[in-house]
Homo-oligomer: A and B are copies of this chain.
Amino acid sequence: TAMVSQGPRLLLLGLLLYVFSPSVSHAGKLLLIPVDGSHWLSMHVIIQQLHQRGHDILVVAPEASVYIEEGSYYTLKKYPVPFQKENVAATFAELGHAVFENNPFLLRVIKTYKKVIRDSALLLSACTHLLQNAPLMTSLQESHFDALLTDPFIPCGTILAQYLALPTVYYLNALPCSLDMKATQCPNPLSYVPKLLSANSDHMSFLQRVKNVLIALTENFLCDVVYSPYAALASEILHKKVTVYDLLSSASIWLLRTDFVKDYPRPIMPNIVFLGGMNCLEKKPISQEFEAYVNASGEHGIVVFSLGSMVSEIPEKKAMEIAEALGRIPQTVLWRYTGSRPSNLAKNTILVKWLPQNDLLGHPKARAFITHSGSHGIYEGICNAVPMVMMPLFGDQMDNAKRMETRGAGVTLNVLEMTADDLENALKAVINDKSYKENVTRLSRLHKDRPIEPLDLAVFWVEFVMRHKGAPHLRPAAHDLTWYQYHSLDVIGFLLAIVLTVVFIVFKCCAYGFRKCFGKKGQVKKTHKSKTH
């Protein structure tokens, strides 16, 4: 007998829900405080969906935003800040440039640290100018939103939510320094949960575990520099002393753009919802221009190449090396690149300013995907089951690459050190060695086999928080404990004290009893002894 597929059941469920759903529920009002850059870009799909479901969405962003622009499915309100769009654009451009500056390790650490200090001062200044903008604050207060949606990477929206007393939904990839785990009271065993930016897997050698612990011990320093000013700002605005954890832990629901096909299984909390691969199923037909390229590629098919939206150009020498390697494979390469055209570009390589990445990867002729291994790209690679050659540049990209590599779905290259030969070999490996395709196909099957689509899940939980004014039933009681209570140190101390007291009393009693029984003899001896002196 043929197995009844999930379809009819869901169809019936949909019908039932449609018939029985309350017909006069009103649209909600949602306040959205985004983070500029790729963080904002990854929010589009959920905003669009919420708009389609009838909600009014107000996006509040600094005038100097680079990526945040007017859109058809939300209202944008910009507020003045004492810097220009060009300043922000420069910080994004630096991100890409810094990758290709082949500086010694210590110099890179210092440069990165200085950049973090500079950038976070800019971001903090923007946040201050939002929260101290009295007319804007009044207008937001009078708008009576149902909930606030924000990316807590910059905890400005978090402070605003507290100020406006709005239930909050977070939408994020991850927070640095395990701030997300700490703020959700989520246990985070260092022995098998790799730290962000460690490039460790979940199976670590002894020295990798040492590295994991060392990162955990030192990361708070950098995070304090970035995040503690927000605690100070919040304390001022809210007229009460708050810490970064107080701020972050106020969220009702954490929507994490990850899943356990990409990430390693680890403890989670009931108010964390996993949305990995949310934008992958949305497929549009490929435009005529790209269709022509794909058709012309013949039996060899195509390779899709993009280093993401944040890196626009790379040094000429590196670009030429890459171009040389691409010329050595029989596939047609579609390379998204906005820098100047490398002089040695081969005929099989087509430079484009933009490409429909997910649609191209979904084409049966896609043979490999050269990616900077940002989380979006990784999910599009998994979803479409295309083996990957990964060139991680910054942030969590190294971790993403490690995850795919340990699962045999791709090859990682060091973009600084790699030669044309390395890239050529990596490409030929993932295209010709069937294991890569098999592994990524297995991952793809697991990833896409889920009881509910992540986008529906995201919309459900945002609306849940709007309907119920939060999700207090998912808040663990751990938030109400001190650190020593959480670890039961006071109880252990108390029990130890009892045990020691009992041991002491028993010992004393025994000693006393011993003295009573044998004491006189001993005393006599003692007296006798002292007399002999």
Binding site for B on A (CB under 8 A): 1-15, 17-28, 52-55, 186-187, 189-192, 202-203, 206, 209-210, 213-214, 260-261, 264-271, 443, 445-446, 449, 451-453, 456-457, 460-461, 464, 467-468, 473-478, 480-481, 485-488, 490-492, 494-495
Contact = CB atoms under 8 A, between A and B. Distances in A.
Contacts of A446: 468, 473
B13 A12 contact: no
A478 B53 contact: no
Given A6-B17, A13-B14, A191-B487, 7 more contacts: A1-B27, A3-B53, A7-B19, A14-B15, A191-B485, A265-B476, A267-B269
Contacts of A481: 191-192
B206 A490 contact: yes
B264 A477 contact: yes
A203 B14 contact: no
Given A3-B26, A491-B209, A271 B267 contact: no
Contacts of A190: 488, 491
A362 to B, nearest CB: 14
A265 B269 contact: yes
Contacts of A3: 25-28, 53-55
Given A268-B267, A486-B192, A8 B2 contact: no
Contact of A21 (B6, B270, B488): B6
A192 B187 CA distance: 13
A492 B213 CA distance: 8
Given A6-B21, A491-B206, A486 B53 contact: no
27 contacts: A1-B27, A2-B24, A2-B25, A3-B28, A4-B53, A6-B21, A7-B14, A12-B14, A13-B456, A187-B189, A187-B267, A189-B478, A190-B491, A191-B481, A191-B487, A192-B480, A192-B486, A203-B477, A209-B491, A213-B488, A214-B495, A265-B476, A266-B270, A267-B267, A268-B268, A445-B468, A451-B457
Contact of A23 (B2, B189, B464, B488): B2
Contacts of A214: 495
Contact of A10 (B2, B14, B191, B271): B14
Contacts of A192: 476-478, 480-481, 486
Contacts of A480: 192, 203
Nearest to A56: B1
A449 B9 CA distance: 19
Contacts of A452: 451-452
B6 A202 contact: no
A151 to B, nearest CB: 22
A6 to B, nearest CB: 6
Contacts of A461: 451
B2 A7 contact: no
Contact of A260 (B22, B25, B270, B451): B270
Contacts of A476: 192, 202, 264-267
A12 B53 CA distance: 14
A474 B260 contact: yes
A260 B21 CA distance: 23
Nearest to A186: B267
B265 A189 contact: no
A486 B193 CA distance: 10
Q: Identify the interface centre among A3, A20, A25, A203: most chain B CB within 10 Å of its CB.
A: A3
Contacts of A203: 477, 480
A465 to B, nearest CB: 11
A119 to B, nearest CB: 32
A365 B14 CA distance: 29
Contacts of A15: 11, 14
A446 to B, nearest CB: 6
Contacts of A460: 6, 451
A174 to B, nearest CB: 16
B10 A495 contact: no
A265 B475 contact: yes
Contacts of A187: 187, 189, 267
Contacts of A210: 491, 494-495
A265 to B, nearest CB: 4
A3 B494 CA distance: 56
Given A13-B14, A191-B485, A202-B477, A22 B5 contact: yes
A449 B464 contact: yes
Contact of A25 (B5, B21, B53, B492): B5
Contacts of A11: 11, 14-15, 17-18
Contacts of A14: 7-15
A209 B495 CA distance: 11
Contact of A2 (B27, B478, B487): B27
Nearest to A201: B477
